[in-house]
Amino acid sequence: MGPYPQTKLVVSDLTPEEVLDLFHAYKLKRRRAVRNQLVEEHMGFAHHIAHRYRNRGVADDDLHQVALVGLVKAVDRFDPDFGVAFTTFAGRTIEGEVKRHFRDATWAVRVPRSMKDTSLRVRAASDELGQTLGRPPTVPEVASHVGIDTDEVVAALAASEAYGTDSLVTGSEGGDAPRDREDVLGTVDDELESTADRALVESLLELLSERDRQIVELRFYEQLSQQEIADRVGVSQMHVSRLLTRSLTLMRAEATPGH
Amino acid sequence: MPVTANQLTLTFAADSRFIATVRLTAASIAAEFGFDVDDIEDLRVAANELFAFLVETAEDVGGDQVEIAIHPSDHDISIEGRVLGVNGTTHDVPAVDELTSRILDAVVDTHDFDGAWGRIHKRSSS
């Protein structure tokens, strides 16, 4: 494999409008040639992200390959009508893919963090929809509710099987006492209730500092209490509360139409 | 490759709308044979590339259908596909482009496009 470009994030002469047109064309026809053009257009961006994770015990070639796969997934999943910049969306997808490479060894079997999060969200959505519908939800219903595609739901369900029957009582990271499934899943927060909100929150998280983002993710994705977050982050519970309020206020303001 | 005990063969119209079905089928079968989630995720990407490439080839050569054969075992899984024309005639597939080759390099153990068939092969990590 040849050297990777390091200098420019966007390597073509296409205007942002032309790139957006390509995304619309790809959404409509799913032509591989268009997909490849979009991938090549943003290859430098993927390499840029991979470059940030160098010197951490993973070969550069591996990192760049992983980032490329993340970029391909991002192009496939990106909805140009959603109003979020592709780089915002892709950044999270590519980083998620790279972080998956630095897997968390605390869970049995090989289950990446992104899949753990997804599995918990799929489980929570299944339970919630089951109560609402009065029957077990279908995979497309769960996918729509969580805001992911149907085969990701299948993969998440496969991941939850990987935990085995003990997965209903799972230990939290850091050696805390095991918590019941209900505690892990908690209830879906009103602010994150709709699928659209979930997708929007993903992009709004980019606005926050690393620590603030971590706190919001611990609260809403891992369903930790403020005290558990405080213990994890090393600040007081009240401080966590204030930081959460500040972060959500900022995110709400950004999400307000006309902002 | 020869017919295997657990082989599943599906024939699709050469239409990219079936990509999700191919991905889902490959993922489901791999899950059934005990592949872990990372392997399944990789396989989804690879199946996507294989099928999309064959659909594109079909459009170029006037093929009507794409046949996908999945050969799973507890240790590995192979997926092969070819383009079918009228009356079951086959068409040779061209070499894959560099980007597709790099994507497949990242997610499967081997891939080859030779004669009428495109093939990907992945060993189970667990």
Average pLDDT over residues B95-110: 89
> What confidence category does residue A191 fall into, taking pLDDT thresholds of 50, 70 and 90?
very low
- In chain A, residues under CATH classification 1.10.10.10 are 105-188, 189-259
Determine contact, residues A92/A206, Cβ cutoff 8 Å: yes
Q: CATH assignment of A16-101? A: 1.20.120.1810
The residue among B41, B42, B93, B96 with the most chain A CBs within 10 A of its CB, best to mutate, is B41
Tell me yes or no: is domain B8-123 CATH 1.10.357.140: no
N-terminal to C-terminal alpha carbon distance within chain B: 24
**pLDDT for the residue A81:** 87
- Residue B123: other Cβ atoms inside 10 A: 13
Tell me yes or no: is domain A189-259 CATH 3.30.70.3270: no
How does DSSP assign A102-124, residue by residue?
A: S--TTSSSS--HHHHHHHHHHHH
Kindly tell me the number of DSSP H helices and DSSP E strands found in chain A: 13, 2
> What confidence category does residue B26 fall into, taking pLDDT thresholds of 50, 70 and 90?
very high
> What confidence category does residue A190 fall into, taking pLDDT thresholds of 50, 70 and 90?
very low
Nearest CA in chain A to B17: A30
- Residue B11: other Cβ atoms inside 10 A: 12
Query: For residues A247 and A23, what is the distance between their CA atoms, to the nearest angstrom?
Result: 31
Partnered with residue B91 across adjacent β-strands are B83
Query: For residues A95 and A71, what is the distance between their CA atoms, to the nearest angstrom?
Result: 10
Q: Is B52 on the interface with A (CB under 8 A)?
A: yes
How does DSSP assign A165-209, residue by residue?
A: GGGGEEEPTTSPPEEEHHHHH----GGG-SHHHHHHHHHHGGGS-
> What confidence category does residue A257 fall into, taking pLDDT thresholds of 50, 70 and 90?
low
Distance of residue A35 Cα from the nearest chain B Cα, in angstroms: 10
Q: Among A83-92, A119-128, B12-21, name the most confident range.
A: B12-21
| Residues from chain A contacting residue B38 (CB–CB below 8 Å) | 100, 110, 112
**pLDDT for the residue A166:** 33
**pLDDT for the residue A170:** 36
CA torsion sign, B96 to B98 to B104 to B110?
positive
- In chain A, residues under CATH classification 1.20.120.1810 are 16-101
The pTM assigned to this predicted structure is 0.56
The yes/no answer to whether this complex scores an ipTM above 0.90 is no
Query: For residues A121 and A225, what is the distance between their CA atoms, to the nearest angstrom?
Result: 17
> Domain ranges in chain B?
8-123
Q: CATH assignment of A105-188? A: 1.10.10.10
Residue B19 sits at the vertex; the CA angle it makes with B97 and A37, to the nearest 5 degrees, is 35
